[in-house]
Amino acid sequence: MPKYKIRAHHAMCLQYFCGNGYSDAFVENMKYISAALNKNPIITVIDYGDDICSECPNYLMNNQCVDQNKVSVYDSKVLQYCSVESGITIHWKDFERAVLQNILSVNKRDMICKDCKWNNLCKKFYHEV
């Protein structure tokens, strides 16, 4: 099975992905990554540009997002709430479960990314319990 690098906060984004994105290439890549992760591969959870970022038009040549400061905070909070460190190797479903249990099901999503440009879309499809 392939091993993917996934930014910590992207585990939340994937829960709400419904085909919208920064560009057609980004959307197609997000669909591809989402489908691949459904097969539960081993991933490395990171706090820098990942396999999803690779097709984002906001991802700069120096391997940083134009919103690097903001997304770094998102990653840091997800890692903290899930009690994992950047660089951990884990099955996707185990990390997804940690995000669901420690963030989404206890209504902490807004504490992490309420200033994200996609926040209104996530709120529309909010499926926290």
Task: Assess contact for 83 and 115: CB atoms under 8 A.
Answer: no
φ and ψ at residue 22, rounded to 5 degrees: -75, -25
φ and ψ at residue 110, rounded to 5 degrees: -65, -25
AA letter at 123: K
Q: Minimal CA–CA distance to 80: which of 64, 99, 67?
A: 99
From CA 80, how far away is CA 10, in angstroms rounded? 14
pLDDT along the chain (129 residues), means of 10: 88 91 92 96 95 85 82 97 97 98 93 90 66
pTM of the model: 0.90
Average pLDDT score, the chain: 90
pLDDT digits (tens, 9 = 90+) for 86-113: 999 999 999 999 999 999 999 999 999 9
From CA 99, how far away is CA 81, in angstroms rounded? 8
pLDDT score of 126: 63
Buried b (16+ CB within 10 A) or exposed e, 40-71: eeebbbbbbbbbbbebbeebeeeebbeebeeb
Task: Please calculate the CA angle 42-29-35 and round it to the nearest 5 degrees.
Answer: 50
Percent of the chain with pLDDT over 90: 67
Task: Assess contact for 16 and 122: CB atoms under 8 A.
Answer: yes
